[in-house]
Amino acid sequence: MKYFKPDFEFDHFTDLTFELLKTHNIHTIFSDLDSTLAAHNQLGDDQFTKWHETLEANGIKLVVVSNNSQGRVDRFTKPYHILGYGRCNKPLIGTIRKIMAEINVKSSESLFLGDQLFTDVLCGKRLNMKTVLVKPLGEEHEPLRVRWKRGLEASIKKRW
In a domain, 143, yes or no: yes
Which residue segment(s) compose the domain that 149 sits in?
8-157
In a domain, 2, yes or no: no
Cis peptide bond N-terminal to 79, omega within 30:
no
* Beta strand segments in 11-119, E: 28-31, 61-65, 83-85, 110-114
Question: In this structure, is the dihedral angle defined by the CA atoms of residues 136, 133, 44 and 68, taken in order, positive or negative?
Answer: negative
Q: How far apart are CA 61 and CA 55, in angstroms?
A: 7
DSSP assigned state of 34 = B
Cis peptide bond N-terminal to 91, omega within 30:
yes
Tens of pLDDT, residue by residue, the chain (160 residues)? 567 799 999 999 999 999 999 999 999 999 999 999 998 888 999 999 999 999 999 999 999 999 999 999 999 999 999 999 999 999 999 999 999 999 999 999 999 999 998 899 999 999 999 999 999 987 565 555 656 565 566 666 666 6
In a domain, 1, yes or no: no
In a domain, 117, yes or no: yes
In a domain, 84, yes or no: yes
In a domain, 3, yes or no: no
Q: How far apart are CA 123 and CA 95, in angstroms?
A: 11
In a domain, 39, yes or no: yes
pLDDT of residue 40: 84
pTM over 0.85: yes
In a domain, 43, yes or no: yes
Question: In this structure, is the dihedral angle defined by the CA atoms of residues 62, 82, 77 and 101, taken in order, positive or negative?
Answer: negative
* Beta strand segments in the chain, E: 8-10, 28-31, 61-65, 83-85, 110-114, 130-134
Nearest Cα residue to 134 out of 8, 11, 1: 11
Tally of structural domains, the chain: 1
CATH code, 34: 3.40.50.1000
